[in-house]
Structure 1
Amino acid sequence: MTIEVANETEYQVDIDEFRAVVEFVLAQMHVSTEAELALMFIEPEPMEELHIKWMDLPGPTDVMSFPMDELRPGTPGRVTPPGTLGDIVICPTVAAAQALKAGHSAAEEMLLLTVHGVLHLLGYDHVEPEEEKVMFELQRKLLLTFLAERPTFAGKITIDPPLKSGEES
């Protein structure tokens, strides 16, 4: 599995932790170990440019996903074919502000946004209420399971009601 993580911000980002959450989610979703994905952390100004260009919305957003090969989740015993899932772009500045409001750390918010972005790359969406319910329940389950297995995060986060990320992605 090729997971490229780049940090183009002044925020301290634990690249290994973010690579681990992506690997965990892809394994849980039965994605080929030959899949490729890029995760990038950027400043508000370039995020705003992407947000305007692709969503026609002003201001920076928390996370954006750019699917490539339109791979979908596999099933136990039947993984997805190899391919390029796409790119996820996260703005730590926006994530940190959201984390403050939600009452958890910026790192936890960015892990949530990473899971959210991976699910978008796998075809999940939250435009319709039923889609939102399915996606956010899966997102919550994946993140909580990942965090419970990580000694650096275990027990540090309580999530009730279910986690949600920003409005656009």
Structure 2
Amino acid sequence: MSLNIDFIDESNQLKEQDITTVIELLNLAAKHEEVEPGSEVSVTFVSNDKIQKINREYRGKDQPTDVISFAMEELGEGEIELSGLDMPRILGDIIISVQRTEEQAKEYGHSFHRELGFLAVHGFLHLLGYDHVTEELEKVMFAKQKEILDEYGLER
């Protein structure tokens, strides 16, 4: 059994191959991180305008970004953890700007497909608690990303 992934393509720009790649990469990342089968994640593809609104509202940054993750397992102040024997693990939401994906693919000199895969894995690792706020944490997170992308065959 694999992850339960809910996709929403608000951009209407993705091809079936793009979705398939994201599904396979997220499942590969879940396997690497020993995430319980049946765990749930949502992936939404949006415009720069939409991600800028989200970035402004939730992060206080009034600019578009490439990917934002909202981890359900990070409890805010006053929130109560919900758990039960028959409840799936709900990892959270990954939101990816398709426009920024295109822009960054050109900027970095690789395919849209590779950049999309990178952003999906990057967002997924954030849902699992990885971060890059320090150089040490960045090394750990980026090494995991590279390992997953290389194994899948999406090398730079």
TM-score when normalising by structure 2: 0.84
Percentage of pairs with the same residue: 34
Task: Please report how far the alpha carbon of residue 10 of structure 1 lies from its aligned counterpart in structure 2 after TM superposition.
Answer: 3.4
The reply on whether 1:33 has 2:29 as its aligned counterpart is no
- 1:106 counterpart residue number: 112
Q: Which secondary structure does the structure 1 equivalent of 2:7 belong to?
A: strand
Matched, 1:7 2:9: yes
Show the 5 A alignment for 1:68-87: 68-70=72-74, 82-87=88-93
Q: TM-score, normalised by structure 1?
A: 0.78
The answer to whether the 8 Å contact 1:92/1:106 transfers is no
* Structure 2 portions without partners, runs of 5+: 75-86
The equivalent of 1:144 in structure 2 is: 150
Q: Does 1:92 align with 2:98?
A: yes
Contact 2:25 2:148 in 1 (8 A): no
CA positional deviation for 1:18: 1.1
Shift of 1:6: 1.7
Would you say how many aligned residue pairs link Structure 1 and Structure 2?
A: 140
The residue aligned with 2:59 is 55
Q: Which portions of structure 1, spanning 4 or more consecutive aligned residues, are displaced by more than 4 angstroms?
A: none
Structure 1: which 5+ runs fail to align? 71-80, 148-152, 160-169
Aligned to 1:75: none
1:27 Cα shift? 1.1
Equivalents in 1 of 2:137, 2:118: separation in Å? 18
